[in-house]
Structure 1
Amino acid sequence: MTADDDLPAKRDILKLSFATAGLVWYTFLWSLGLLGCWAARKRYRLRPRSPLASSGPGDVPGVSILRPLKGLDPNLYENLESTFTQEYPNFEIFFTVADEHDQALAVVRDLIAKYPHVNAHIVTGEEVVGVNPKVNNLVKAYRQASHDILWVLDSNVMADSGTLARSVDALDGPPSAANNSRKRIALVHHVPFAFATEPALGSHVEQAFLNTNHAKMYIAINTVAIDSCVVGKSNLYRKSDLERVDGTLKPATASSGAPRETGLVAFGRFLAEDNMIASALWHELDVRHDISCDVAHNAVGNMTIADYFWRRVRWIRVRKHMVLAATLIEPFTESIVAGTIAGLSLRYFLGLPLWLFLPLHFAAWLFVDLDVYESLAGHPVPPGATKWKFIGAWVLREGLAFPIWSYAIWGSTVDWRGKAYVVMRNGEVRRATRDDRNGWLRWIPWASGRKDTASYEPVDLAQD
């Protein structure tokens, strides 16, 4: 037998290998998706009232709630009011703004007047400890906090009245956890659940993404819990734990040479400080996270498709420098690519045509996603035009996933809050210059970002 005669056999082996790997991968994805769907049903369809809600102030641990503000975010009044109405007997609130003339302060003062019995404070003026404006905004309140437990909520988040009590339950853990049979819970986080406050198409695409695919995978990964996976819209953790970590992700007992800053200020050098805080607690202290049975109601304002595009680009580029492997395989977890791979594999093994398999695949994928939505919302997507609008946004999101990833993976420059940054190793950032724009893409006028202005500037923390 000649080498040429051997080629068909080798091609057959290669095809068989690819087809087998495709079906194995598809089975794995469905296992993960169904795990997320099952866990969402189990965790979110019953939200019992915590006994802490009816306890006395001296019988529960105190909590300091930190809410960074900037401008009039969508649904701001209701978002902030939900902090005042928590069914928990011992908490204080810090509203932090960088500018003493910020428009959000009028809303805060109205709420403080409406709820005079709530221990609420306004902290103005940022303390620059890094390039992350959220961290700079929070540092003063972080230092003034009276309690060890901190609850950090973004300004576009609204929380149910029982969220704090149930979250403290999760943070402290059940009494049986004291027997060292499980690692201590050091952070409690909440799955974002979006609601569009504007008719803009991008808002509805973002809503469809967060409430289905993102939530499904987020819940599944946290159920498996092999590593930290946290979105920072609503997080509880202990200040005493944060003061022991520095963002290096090295165990606290390991010698790391010269001492580094610890606590919140250590995370001012990261763009995704929430994710890095969670990772630092996990890896440096060898503790774990938990998600309570509450969601972080995320108000999505007037977001165009372009806004949605650049938001997704930003976080793909951040994740690329933090979890490269997971970012590289991301397209293969999406419905279109995964379905195509599985369809081609089944055509090889069974002769099943793609035109027959793909509609069944997409219908099943959508069914699971809608079930996850129902678990988080407590009700199905409303019928009629609302449901069809949601499904249309879901279809558009699925179609945009691969093009957005394909564009984002090549660059490291991101635009955030009107300023451009370069994402570096481990998610650290520095201010961008014109020369930092996305390699060869800088020759395409529209490809380096929405703004080609003075937002590209070097870092100067002394004058920032």
Structure 2
Amino acid sequence: MAISGYGVLLKLTLASVSLVCRKRYRLRPRSPLASAPASSIPGVSILRPLKGLDTNLYENLESTFTQEYANYELFFCVDDDEDQSLTVVRDLMAKYPHVKAHVAIRNGVTVGVNPKVNNLMTAYRQVAHDIIWVLDSNVMVDPGTLARSVDILNPPPNSPRSPSRRIGVVHHVPYAWVTKHTLGSRIEEAFLNTNHAKMYIAINTVAIESCVVGKSCLYRKSDLERVNGSLKPIPDADAGGFQPGARGLAAFGRFLAEDNMIASALWHELGLRHDLSCDVAKNAVGNMSLMDYIARRIRWVRVRKRMVLAATLSEPFTESVLVGCLASLGLRYLTGFPPWLFLPIHFLAWLFVDMDVFASLAGHPVPASMRWQFLGAWAARELLALPIWFMAIIGNEVEWRGKRYEVMQNGEVRRVGEGGGGLTGWIMRWGRKSADYYQPLETRE
């Protein structure tokens, strides 16, 4: 059993590396839309939720001003007109006067407990285009990203690349880069650029279920206005049917991981599919301590647990430590092959695959100057994965942006009071002290 499961996992990993990472991410061709006139291409509204002065904020926001695409508008979404990020926004608006850029102030609009959804609502109601690109404030993208993404979301008629089912979401795998070389930041970088990317790409390659991280997502407002997050199929979806009651972005304010729920709703309610472009969402990681990293991982495991329980319970069996131990025991029982010889081979093979994933996403191998630091962070991530999973699986409360929530069925949340006991509660409170690593309103990783 352990040996067969090990074989299946290896095949899944190899599929992500050989069929997607190398082919898709090591070559990023220029889209014809990049040089097309505005009148001949679909319009896009870019929404960027902001809160304070984030790591690398100027460069992150500037990357959307410099997109090689002639027909888009920008909305910078803030809670109030005193937000510090507006200084950066106004400098960029003056630098790029030819770009249609707007500031959208929330002014108390509240549609649910999710602060990111509340932040976006004013701009969402004002957009001029049907295609919406929601892009977190800690993300920087290459100039050709929008054109290549629209190519996938809206392929030309009779295009040979047109899928059998319409694409409802185009998303981008996160790629982390460290701006402050702390222990937690290094481990987060190793996690996002190896294990997370590997499994995320593999799951989306198999594409048997929705799996979307919301740091950078394109979808159509007209599709979102037909769904409500119930995940119940709409009987006449192909004929333009829609769910009863509240729909659209406001209906997802009750979820903490609204990005994943929006993608799942488009998948299950409308029968649409998702696709990754060949671009990455470059994610700047600032000053993250070890406790910050642990608290962050606990938070999102708990969210996933309430949304996709079976997948969350199976996560340990995708981790190198548990899989290696089980496979070594099975191999020893069946063939007498010694674990002391199998385990080094296993971990070296696992590391080789992870380093290859990193090279595909980054466009280059891990630089020699940081190789040993990266390997140490990678090893720490692998060793911490199971203890973090066990701590996360026994609770339902999470802390996000200084507020505590209880995660309920299907990922809905409700506010709870301060406190929270036990080891995980202490870790959450500790992590709050230096949380300047990810100021943006991020969602599930």
Identity of counterpart residues, as a percentage? 65
1:395 maps onto 2:374 in alignment: no
Partner of 1:413: 397
Q: Which residue of 2 aligns with 1:316?
A: 301
Residue 27 of structure 1: aligned partner: 7
Could you tell me which residue of structure 2 aligns to residue 5 of structure 1? none
Size of the aligned set, in residue pairs, is 427
Structure-1 residue corresponding to 2:232: 250
Distance 1:123 1:66 in 2: 9
Conserved in 2, the CA contact under 8 Å of 1:173 and 1:185?
Answer: no
Q: Distance in 2 between matches of 1:137 and 1:433?
A: 22
- 1:431 equivalent among 415, 423, 429: 415
Pick one of 439, 444, 449 that aligns with 2:428: 449
The one-letter code matched in structure 2 to 1:286 is: G
Deviation at 1:327, TM superposition (A): 0.3
AA paired with 1:411? G
Residue 188 of structure 1 corresponds to 170
Counterpart of 2:284 in structure 1 is 299
Quote the offset at 1:257 in angstroms: 13
SS across alignment from 2:83: coil
TM-score, normalised via structure 1 length: 0.89
Mapping for residues 55-204 of structure 1, pairs under 5 Å = 55-125=36-106, 126-173=108-155, 175-176=157-158, 182-204=164-186
Could you tell me how far 1:433 is from its partner in structure 2? 3.1
- Normalising by structure 2, what TM-score? 0.93
Name the structure 2 match of 1:45: 26
Distance 2:162 2:58 in 1: 43
More contact order relative to length (CA 8 Å, sep ≥ 6): 2
* CA drift at 1:275: 0.2
Q: Deviations over 1:213-243 (max 9, x none)?
A: 1111111110110010000000000000000
Q: Which has the larger radius of gyration?
A: 1
Instruction: Tell me the alpha carbon deviations over residues 29-58 of structure 1, each in whole angstroms, 9 at most, x when there is no partner.
Output: 111111111111111111000000111010
Secondary structure in 1 aligned to 2:307? coil
2:209 maps to 1:227: yes
CA distance in structure 2 between the aligned counterparts of 1:231 and 1:179, rounded to whole angstroms: 24
C-alpha separation in 1, matches of 2:172 and 2:428? 31
Gaps of 5+ in 1: 1-20, 454-464
- The one-character-per-residue Cα deviations of 1:300-349 (angstroms, maximum 9, x if unpaired) are 11111111101100110000011000100111110000000000011111
Match of 1:382 in 2: 367
Distance 1:269 1:122, change over 3 A: same
Contact 2:53-2:85 within 8 A present in 1 as well: yes
Contact 1:228-1:289 within 8 A present in 2 as well: yes
Give how far 1:173 is off: 2.7
Partner of residue 210, structure 1: 192
1:220 and 1:304 map into 2 onto residues whose CA distance is 29
What is the alpha-carbon distance in structure 1 between the residues aligned to residue 281 and residue 194 of structure 2?
14
2:248 is matched with 263
Alignment equivalent of 2:406, drawn from 392, 416, 422:
422
Deviation at 1:430, TM superposition (A): 0.2
**Distance across 2 between alignment mates of 1:227 and 1:445:** 30
Checking the alignment, whether the CA contact within 8 Å between 1:244 and 1:252 is kept in structure 2 is no
Deviation at 1:253, TM superposition (A): 2.7
Q: 2:342: which partner in 1?
A: 357
Counterpart of 2:435 in structure 1 is: none
Residue 289, structure 1, aligned to residue 274, structure 2: yes
Q: CA contact under 8 A between 2:226 and 2:248: conserved in structure 1?
A: yes
1:271: Cα distance to partner? Answer: 0.2
- State which of 362, 367, 373 in structure 1 corresponds to 2:352: 367
The one-letter code of the counterpart of 2:282 is H
Per the alignment, do residues 427 and 344 of structure 1 end up closer, same or farther by CA in structure 2, a change over 3 Å counting?
same
* Deviation (angstroms), 1:176: 3.1
Displacement after TM superposition at 1:352 (Å)? 1.4
- Residue range with higher mean Cα deviation, 237-246 or 34-43: 34-43
**2:318 maps to 1:333:** yes
Corresponding residue for residue 4 of structure 1: none
Q: Distance in 2 between matches of 1:174 and 1:180?
A: 8
Contact in 2 for aligned 1:53/1:87 (Cα 8 Å): yes
Residue in 2 that maps onto 1:236: 218
In structure 1, the residue corresponding to 2:428 is in which secondary structure? coil
